Amino acid sequence: MKKVERINTIMRYINNRSHFTISEIMREFNISRSTAIRDIKEIEAMGMPLVAEVGRAGGYFVMHNSVLPDVHFTDNEVKALFIAFMATRNQQLPFLKSRQSLAEKLLGLISETQQEDLILLNEIFIFEGTNPNHPDLLELSDLPHPILEKLIQNLLLDRYLLITVEEEGAIKSYPIYLLHLYREKGLWLLEGFDLEEEKKKIFPVDQLSDVQPYKTKKRISKKKILERLRAQGKAINLVLELGPKAIAQFKKYHPLKASISYTNPYQTTAILKAFIDVNHPEEVAEIINWLLFLGEEIKVREMPEEVMKALHERLSWLKAILNRPKVNG
Spell out the domain ranges in the chain.
Answer: 3-62, 72-144, 146-232, 238-323
Q: Read off the pLDDT of residues 283-295 as tens digits, 9 standing for 90 and up.
A: 888 889 999 999 9
Least reliable range by pLDDT among 56-65, 85-94, 200-209, 219-228: 56-65
Average pLDDT, stretch 68-89? 76
To 10 degrees, what angle do helices 112-124 and 75-87 make?
Answer: 30
Least reliable range by pLDDT among 9-18, 68-77, 270-279: 68-77
Least reliable range by pLDDT among 3-12, 128-137, 142-151, 191-200: 128-137
Residue 7 has pLDDT above 60, yes or no: yes
The answer to whether the CB of 314 falls within 8 A of the CB of 292 is yes
Which regions of 187-297 does DSSP assign to beta strands (E)?
187-194, 199-204, 208-213, 238-242, 260-262, 270-274
May I ask the CATH class of domain 146-232?
mainly beta
Mapped onto helix, strand or coil, the DSSP state of residue 95 is coil
Residue 327 has pLDDT above 70, yes or no: no
Residue 97 has pLDDT above 80, yes or no: no
Mapped onto helix, strand or coil, the DSSP state of residue 282 is helix
Residue 329 has pLDDT above 70, yes or no: no
Which regions of the chain does DSSP assign to beta strands (E)?
50-52, 60-62, 160-167, 170-184, 187-194, 199-204, 208-213, 238-242, 260-262, 270-274, 298-302
The answer to whether the CB of 216 falls within 8 A of the CB of 240 is no
Of all residues in the chain, the percent with pLDDT exceeding 90 is 18
- Identify any residues that bridge with 176 across adjacent strands, giving them in sequence order: 161, 194
- When comparing pLDDT for 189 and 17, which is higher? 189
Q: Read off the pLDDT of residues 109-124 as tens digits, 9 standing for 90 and up.
A: 788 888 888 888 887 8
Query: What pLDDT, on a 0 to 100 scale, did the predictor assign at position 15?
Result: 76
Residue 279 has pLDDT above 80, yes or no: no
Residue 71 has pLDDT above 60, yes or no: no
Question: 37-56 in b/e burial notation, b at 16+ Cβ within 10 A?
Answer: eebbeebeeeebebeeeeee
Which CATH number describes the domain made up of 3-62? 1.10.10.10
Gap between the Cα atoms of 249 and 169, Å rounded: 37
Looking at the chain, how many residues does it have?
A: 329
Phi, psi of 46 (to 5 degrees): -80, -5
Residue 141 has pLDDT above 70, yes or no: no
Q: Read off the pLDDT of residues 224-257 as tens digits, 9 standing for 90 and up.
A: 988 888 776 667 888 999 999 999 999 888 887 6
**Per-residue pLDDT band at 160 (split at 50, 70, 90):** very high
Gap between the Cα atoms of 256 and 284, Å rounded: 11
Query: What pLDDT, on a 0 to 100 scale, did the predictor assign at position 47?
Result: 74
**Per-residue pLDDT band at 209 (split at 50, 70, 90):** very high
Query: What pLDDT, on a 0 to 100 scale, did the predictor assign at position 314?
Result: 87
Query: What pLDDT, on a 0 to 100 scale, did the predictor assign at position 266?
Result: 83
